[in-house]
Amino acid sequence: MHFSEINTIIEKENQITNFDKQTHKKKCETLFQKCIDCTRDKLCVADEKILSFYEGDLSLSVAYSAYEHASASFLSKKMMGNEKLITCLKYFIQITEPIKAAHRLEKFKEDILFAILQENYQSYLNKKNSIEVKSFFDFKINEFWKHISEEKRLFMIRFLIAKDEFKLASLFLLILSPNYSEQLTNNILLSKEIEKRLYIALEDDIFILAQINPVLYFRLLDLLSDDTTGILEVLQEFEAIAELKLSSLKEFSKTIEDYNKVKSSVFPLQWFYSQLKSLDIGHRNDVLEYLQKEQVISIQDKQVLDMLFDKDSKFFLHSPPKNAG
C-alpha cells in the first residue's frame, strides 16, 4: 500500500460510521497511525506496531498508543514467550508515571508480570551492592507494584507460590497492606508449612516486618512458636516496635472510620490536621504513612501535613514560657 492510499483511508475514517470487517482491518493495520480503542482483538495489530517500534521502523508515540489502547488480555497473549515485546513493555513501564503504569498493568496476566518481575529482580541483585537503594521496589521500573491493587498482589503471591518461586512471592509481603494480611492467611496460603516457607524466604528482610506490618509480624511469631534455630528469639527483640505499630494501625482504622462519616462535608487536609495534631509524633507519622499507602491522601497531601506538623513542633519548641517577663 502506497503512502497516498494510507492517507486516503485516514481521510475517510471520520466519514464512515458503518464499515465492514475488511475496512476495519485495513484501518487497524495502518502502522503509521496511533491506535484508538479496539474491541475486536482478532483485528488488532498492536503487537505488530510495538514490534515495528522495537525494530526502529515506527515512532515511540505510535507504539505506546498501541500498548495503551489494546486490550490487556490480547497483549498478554501476544507477549507470552516474546522477548522483544516484553522488552518494549519494560521500557513503556519505565517511561510511565508509576500510578498510571499500575492502572494499565492491573489487568495483565500474571505470567507477563512474572516475566518482568523475574528479570528485574535478577537485575536488582546484580546492582544492589553498587547503588544506594532501600529495596527492590525503589527501582523506577518496580515502583508501579506499590500502586497495584492489594487483590492483584495477593494473586501474584498465589501464582508465584504455585511456581515454587517463594523468594519472589515473599517480596509482596513488604508492600502488602496490614488490612489485607488476614486474607493472605485465610484465602491464599494452603497450609502453615507453606506460610512459614513464604516468610522464611524474606531472609534478612524478615526482621523489618515488625516495622512495616505488625499483623504479619505477630502471625510469624505464632508460626515459629516451636522454632529451635534461634530466629524466633531474635524476632522477639522487635516485639515492642510491633506493638507500637499495631497501636498506630488501630489509630488509623479509627481515623478512617471517623473520616468516612464526615468526608462529604469537610476539607480533607483541614480535617486530618485537626484530628491528628493531638497524637504523639510517632503515632501521627505512622497514621500519615498508612493514609498515603491506602491512597486516602496523596504524596503531596502528606507533604503538606508533614510541613504543618513540623511548623507546630518548632513553634512550641521556641515559644517562651507563659509567665516569662
pLDDT digits (tens, 9 = 90+) for 179-194: 888 888 887 777 889 9
Q: Mean pLDDT across the chain, nearest whole number?
A: 82
Backbone angles phi, psi at 98, to 5 degrees: -50, -40
What is the model's pLDDT at position 144?
92
Q: What Cα–Cα distance (Å) separates residue 321 from each residue in 72, 280, 311?
A: 64, 21, 18
What is the model's pLDDT at position 42?
58
User: What integer is the mean pLDDT of 106-134?
Assistant: 85
User: What integer is the mean pLDDT of 40-69?
Assistant: 87
Q: Is residue 295 part of a domain?
A: yes
Q: Is residue 310 part of a domain?
A: yes
**If phi over 0 gives left and psi between -120 and 50 gives alpha, with beta otherwise, what is residue 252?**
alpha
Q: Is residue 276 part of a domain?
A: yes
User: 32-45, pLDDT tens digit by residue?
Assistant: 566 665 545 557 88
Q: Is residue 86 part of a domain?
A: no
Instruction: Say if CB 29 and CB 40 are below 8 A apart.
Output: no
- pLDDT confidence bin for 87, thresholds 50/70/90: very high
- pLDDT confidence bin for 21, thresholds 50/70/90: very low
Structurally, the chain folds into a number of domains equal to: 1
Q: Is residue 271 part of a domain?
A: yes
Q: Is residue 72 part of a domain?
A: no
Which residues span the domain enclosing 290? 266-319
Instruction: Say if CB 99 and CB 70 are below 8 A apart.
Output: no
Instruction: Say if CB 215 and CB 187 are below 8 A apart.
Output: no
What is the model's pLDDT at position 13?
36
Q: Is residue 120 part of a domain?
A: no
At residue 2, does pLDDT exceed 50?
A: no
At residue 24, does pLDDT exceed 70?
A: no
What is the model's pLDDT at position 191?
86
At residue 237, does pLDDT exceed 60?
A: yes
Cell triple for 303: 507533604
